Structure 1
Amino acid sequence: MMDTVVNDYLATWNAQGEQRTALLQNTFAQDVTYTDPLAETTGRAELDAVIDAVQRQFAGMTFTPIGKPDRHHSQVRFQWGLGPAGAEPVVVGFDVVVLDGDGRVADVRGFLDKVPA
């Protein structure tokens, strides 16, 4: 279950167009909240806009999982990297997601561990 949550979460951040729309609907609650050092949003549309901005800023780079996710109750925490495929990530972060009763991501708390200078 937690691997599926992480994989679908990161796939959403990598996807574009209709694929991202479908992943947002299937993976995230309608009123999802997302908070990291650079953004604070509510709802799928606002999260979609954040993802779009990140994709423009880091064009051609992909999100990949780092290490193993950890879970207790309805919370999953995991580390991720953002960088060129097969290369050292230029950004590394750590997210904690809280799932709703349907198994969708209802809340995200993101932290940045490594950012470009």
Structure 2
Amino acid sequence: MSKQTELNELIERYIAVWNETDAPRRRALIAQVFTEDADFLDPLTHAYGHDGIDAMIAAMQQRFPAHRVSRHGDIDAFQDRVRFAWRLAPVDADAPDAMRAQGTDFGVVADGRLCKLTGFFDPMPEAPVQKKHGWSVDSFAAFWAKPNPALVPRALAPDVVGYWPGSEPVRGVDAYTQRIAELIAMVPDFRLEVAEHAANGDCVFIRWIARGSLDDAPFEFTGVDRVRVRDGLVAENRIFCDHPLIQVLAASHSRQRAAV
């Protein structure tokens, strides 16, 4: 078998990973496609190893259950580097909640498997919900009823700062978006309900109720966001919550930063 044929089969298995919804079969494919210490990075998430990549893909499948990833165009490669384009599209082209996206991935191959992969969106994913840019309590509630990290940047000021309990401030649109993506990847069914809110000058206080499940155990807890708004965009957000899940998220983020 030629090297190009082996590479084509590797990328086809990579695409198959994104479309495999049976968890054991997906894990088996991941082991075939990625090295144990594989590093996956795109504008919305940063995943490490087989566990992290599996959680990331499972979260995507739950968010877009009637969609499929496909490769299009040729595979470019030299030495241990590979480049290929992909598309995300609904199985039913007329689906009302269809998400369509496309982009290019750049990978590094080691011993026949991907050890590093970096993805770029072209254009960034968009969804029919919340097409209007900006932030409001209503958009906050709509987002957390059906969270999608691709929608986060449109609500943020370029110099946004986020304060999560137990971790260093998150600065800038990319870092802020990544933190939201990490939470959703960790808890794919995480949802927030707005219980009450009040405004004082340029600050909005939102008391919310969080629900979801972690390690198959359901949870429910409350917290408060203090959102400072500038020109219709979030300039600062301080989260007040002492639930252990927030500490787990902070610890996970710290481990990922240390591994970079």
Same fold (TM over 0.5): yes
Gaps of 5+ in 1: none
Aligned-pair distance for 1:68? 0.8
Aligned-pair distance for 1:3? 1.4
1:1-117 matches, cutoff 5 A? 1-16=6-21, 17-85=23-91, 87=93, 90-100=100-110, 102-114=111-123, 115-117=125-127
Percent sequence identity over aligned pairs? 33
Find the aligned partners of 1:78 and 1:23 in 2 and give their Cα distance: 19
Find the aligned partners of 1:103 and 1:55 in 2 and give their Cα distance: 26
Find the aligned partners of 2:99 and 2:52 in 1 and give their Cα distance: 25
CA distances 1:78-100 after superposition (whole Å, capped 9, x unpaired): 00001123749711021011111
Tell me the secondary structure at the aligned position of residue 116 of structure 1.
coil
- Which contiguous aligned blocks of 4+ residues in structure 1 show a shift greater than 6 angstroms? none
RMSD: 1.7
Structure 1 residues 20 and 28: alpha-carbon distance in aligned structure 2, compared to 1, 3 A threshold: same
Find the aligned partners of 2:63 and 2:122 in 1 and give their Cα distance: 18
Find the aligned partners of 1:2 and 1:70 in 2 and give their Cα distance: 10
Find the aligned partners of 1:103 and 1:52 in 2 and give their Cα distance: 24
Tell me the secondary structure at the aligned position of residue 24 of structure 1.
helix
Aligned-pair distance for 1:111? 0.5
CA contact (8 A) 2:18 2:57 kept: yes
CA contact (8 A) 1:76 1:96 kept: yes
> Match for 1:109: what amino acid?
T
Aligned-pair distance for 1:42? 1.2
> Match for 1:3: what amino acid?
N
TM value normalised by structure 1? 0.91
How many residues were matched structurally? 116
Aligned-pair distance for 1:2? 2.3
Find the aligned partners of 1:35 and 1:71 in 2 and give their Cα distance: 19
Find the aligned partners of 2:77 and 2:53 in 1 and give their Cα distance: 23
Find the aligned partners of 1:11 and 1:68 in 2 and give their Cα distance: 17
> Match for 2:68: what amino acid?
T
Gaps of 5+ in 2: 1-5, 128-260
TM value normalised by structure 2? 0.43
Deviates more, 1:77-86 or 1:3-12: 77-86
